[in-house]
Amino acid sequence: MLRRQCVEVECGKRAQSSTDRCKAHGGGIRCVELDCDKSAVGKTDRCIKHGGGIRCAESGCTKSAVGTTSRCVEHGGGRRCVVSNCKKSARSKSDRCRAHGGGLRCPHCISWPDSRSGSEKYDGYCATCFKQVFPCDERSKVVYAHTKEMRVRNEINKHFEGFIHDVPLYTGNCDCTHRRRIDHRKLIGATLLCIETDEFAHSGYNPKDEEIRYDDLYMIHSGKWVFIRFNPDGKGVDMEDKMATLVNKIQEQIERIEADMNKDLLEIIKLYY
């Protein structure tokens, strides 16, 4: 039997049910909810948003099951990230979650070890790269205008001089396998003092990936390193007090480094973890 195609121009999809259009163009059974133009899912008369299709089998969960599984993404449904011990879902056509390189990647930093997810808002680029590649675009003027990292940057610039913010650090021969970002860094003698804003303490990051990152960075700068890892989302402390603690800790480490008191090749100081 010949399959009927959607009558929309240049659409090669199959027409649904007794209609002459595919689901994307309004064919098939529509959701019965008022003012909803989405397709009904499965044998139900509603779209996924309004309760149609197979629901998650987890007790008390009202979300829809994903793919061929019986659970939603939160409860283990759909494809999972292949990285060991990661419980997040794989994104798009990749086999990893966004934190581990899955989903749509930014075309400017896609080959970097710490590449970021692209955003439709920034034409497929991550916000950081978009601002660097298109500095004159109107959208670049408001990128990161209110983020926690920018608030930390402003506080650092208010009290200290010489810190470089969010500029890739890479080897002299531009070997992209070692190119890395550091939120804020300053070279003091033979020591790089680094401050990183770890939102929610980077709880979704793989500890092994963090170790590899430190190893890569050491190949770029073979001197000493002092990292201050600042979690702005730690509970129980006002943000103003956190900022004051961070400033004091930075000043303390600058004085230690200038007095040559930091003896280890790598020191990691965590605040509000």
Residue 63 within any structural domain of the chain: no
Q: Bigger pLDDT: 175 or 119?
A: 119
Whether pLDDT at 182 is above 90: no
Alpha carbon distance 253, 257 (integer Å)? 6
| Residue 78 per-residue DSSP state | S
pLDDT, position 111 = 73
- Predicted confidence band at 254 (pLDDT cuts at 50, 70, 90)? very high
Kindly report each contact of residues 156-160 with a partner whose C-beta sits within 8 Å and lies 24 or more positions away, as own/partner: 156/184, 156/195, 156/247, 156/250, 159/247, 159/250, 159/251, 160/186, 160/250, 160/251, 160/254
- Predicted confidence band at 3 (pLDDT cuts at 50, 70, 90)? low
Residue 157 within any structural domain of the chain: yes
Residue 185 within any structural domain of the chain: yes
Whether pLDDT at 50 is above 80: yes
Residue 75 within any structural domain of the chain: no
- Per-residue tokens: 64: 């829809």
- Predicted confidence band at 82 (pLDDT cuts at 50, 70, 90)? confident
| Coil/strand/helix, residue 266 | strand
Q: Which strands sit side by side in the sheet containing 191-197, from one edge to the other?
A: 164-165, 184-188, 191-197, 224-230, 266-271
- Predicted confidence band at 257 (pLDDT cuts at 50, 70, 90)? very high
Q: What is the DSSP string of 210-234?
A: HHHHHHHHHHH--SEEEEEEE-TT-
Q: Average pLDDT for residues 85-94, to the nearest whole number?
A: 77
Residue 112 within any structural domain of the chain: no
What predicted TM-score, i.e. pTM, was given to this entire model?
0.52
- Per-residue tokens: 98: 């966004």
Whether pLDDT at 163 is above 80: yes
143 Cβ neighbours under 8 A, 6+ residues apart: 122, 127, 128, 130, 131
pLDDT, position 105 = 80
Residue pair 50/31 in contact (Cβ under 8 Å)? The answer is yes
- Per-residue tokens: 25: 């163009």
Q: Quote the radius of gyration of the chain (alpha carbons, Å).
A: 25
Residue 262 within any structural domain of the chain: yes
The CATH code of the domain that includes 171 is 3.40.1350
pLDDT, position 108 = 85
Whether pLDDT at 96 is above 90: no
Domain count, the chain: 1
Residue 62 within any structural domain of the chain: no
Residue pair 234/272 in contact (Cβ under 8 Å)? The answer is yes
Q: Bigger pLDDT: 202 or 187?
A: 187
- Predicted confidence band at 176 (pLDDT cuts at 50, 70, 90)? very low
Domain around 158: 148-271
pLDDT, position 22 = 84
In 3D space, the residue among 23, 53, 51 whose CA is nearest the CA of residue 38 turns out to be 23
- Count CB-CB contacts under 10 A for residue 223: 12
Whether pLDDT at 1 is above 60: no
Alpha carbon distance 160, 243 (integer Å)? 13
The whole-chain average pLDDT of the chain stands at 82
Q: What is the DSSP string of 145-178?
A: TT-HHHHHHHHHHHH-S--EES--B--TT--GGG
Whether pLDDT at 185 is above 90: yes
- Parallel, antiparallel or unpaired: strands 164-165 and 224-230: unpaired
